[in-house]
Chain A
Amino acid sequence: MGDLYQDILLDHHRNPRHFGELGGGPTVERKNPLCGDAIRLAMDPADNRICDLRFDGHGCALSIASASLMCCALRDKDAGAARAVAAELMTALTAKEPPDAAGLGELACLTTVRDFPMRLNCVTLPWTALDELLGK
């Protein structure tokens, strides 16, 4: 059983980055029906790049840290690169074999949720919002 609440995750929970004040760009909201948690994501795309990705809402340590880490990881990426990161994380979260998470950087700390399948939706909540946001 991995350590779910690693220091880096707790740090992003306590001090979420890019949190609040969503600005005027496109916005999506996603809720977790299991717990009522809600994340709103907003993007300021310029030059076909995500020059700003922000979130607000309320949630557990996992969903808040996941959103915070996501915003850090995807800023300055174009939509294709952002989708690739999201896909790599989803594979790492759900693949049968434990993943080689080296390419995920700080996001790798989220993969400990593999040992807590009841909490998987907490981690994926902001990423499903991202998927919808990039589709806009």
Chain B
Amino acid sequence: MNAPASIPTTAAAKLPAIREQFPTLAQTVHGKPLVYLDNAATTQKPWCVINAIAAYYEHDNSNVHRGVHALSQRATAACEAVRDKVRAFVNAAEPAEILFTSGTTEAINLVASSYGANAVGSGDEIVISTLEHHSNIVPWQLLCERSGAILRVIPISDDGDLDLDAYRGLLNKRTRLVAVGHVCNALGTVNPIHEIIDLAHGNGTPVLVDGAQAIPHMPVDVQALDCDFYAFSGHKVYGPTGIGVLYGKRRLLDAMPPYQGGGDMISSVRFEGTTYNELPYKFEAGTPNIAGAVGLGTAVDFLQTHLPEFIPLEAALMEYAESALAAVDGVTIVGAPQQRVGALSFLIDNVHPHDIGTVVDLQGIAIRAGHHCAQPLMERLGLASTARVSFGIYNTTADIDRLTAAIPEVVRIFG
């Protein structure tokens, strides 16, 4: 097992203070202190986010953009301040390129529906990869069914890395969009996203990046990446559920038809015809998740404060987890991608991952078991499911030690 000496000590020394900011962590589950290792599914929420949402409802609750009264002004200002905060967070050129959605899934559906409506026709091609989450597969399948377009899939190596040579071969004059994850939720593979984008652009093809599993773990600069769309969820970055972000280049967003009809997305409505609002409101029909946006803004502040120290700490934690798990009899780590962040899948000989999940849950340890909404990837790996640990800003080597200590009990029951 790796010596804990590889853990950056200054950052590690701050972990108790960080953990104190997360009320959910301070509980026992089945009589044992909770170890939460399911952060790729959702992260826990710090007091600052919980309090910001409560304070919004306590003091400022109102609808946005419509009222002339003080509360509506405050709610509107709060929402727009978060939009600009997120713009700075991902380094978009302007706030109008930041659209609020309910999450990554809706952001991808928005692009599939709206970009797809104009730009994708019969015989055109969409490129995705074997590593995708269902939410970056099914919207494109629906688009293909509607339009007669064809879905092309970048294969992977046995280690869980994308086959870039095969990707080059998939790009052609009919390729209308490349939609790939930045980080794979099941294996933690970090995709060579710069190269993927450069190759697509060399082919004249825009790229959507599903950033749900990347944005909690690394700085993302959409202008440096030059991606055309970037989607992520608030609840995976310590914010609330029900709020997410779609970044899109203005040039593309301007050309796209509205996604949904309703209030806020119009500038004037007459029965003879409706004029749509300008960006970003054209894509934000109906009352948005205002409290969610407020919580997201606070979460972005929280993440930005802690990310510089978290990145090396998490890299060390991943290394520690890989060697600690691999050292346990009967445990196999799934995949060996060139770069891994956030999530680590493993198997135990002759034990179904759901049974692993239940037995370690009885020890107070929350992990994920299943296909991780990546069934095509599981099929490629020849697996029905895996057990997965995934890290957040509050995880410690002691959490990993608790997990590895619980595995002999799993083996005892089922071995």
Seen from chain A, the residues whose Cβ lies within 8 Å of a Cβ on chain B are 1, 4-5, 10, 13, 34-38, 58-62, 116, 119, 122
Contacts and interface: CB of A to CB of B under 8 A. Distances in A.
B354 A60 contact: yes
Given A5-B413, A10-B413, A60 B352 contact: yes
A16 to B, nearest CB: 13
B413 A35 contact: no
Contacts, number: 44
Nearest to A38: B384
Contacts of B362: 1
A4 B385 CA distance: 21
Interface SS of A by simple majority: loop
Interface of B: 30, 352-355, 358-359, 362, 369-371, 375, 378, 384-385, 413-414
Contact of B355 (A1, A34, A58, A62): A62
B407 to A, nearest CB: 15
B363 to A, nearest CB: 12
Given A5-B355, A35-B371, A60-B352, 17 more contacts: A1-B362, A4-B358, A5-B359, A5-B413, A10-B413, A10-B414, A13-B414, A34-B370, A35-B354, A36-B370, A36-B378, A36-B385, A37-B352, A59-B352, A60-B353, A60-B355, A61-B414
Contacts of A1: 30, 362
Contacts of B385: 35-37
B81 to A, nearest CB: 39
A37 B355 contact: no
A116 B358 contact: yes
B14 to A, nearest CB: 34
B375 A36 contact: yes
B354 A119 contact: yes
Contacts of B375: 36
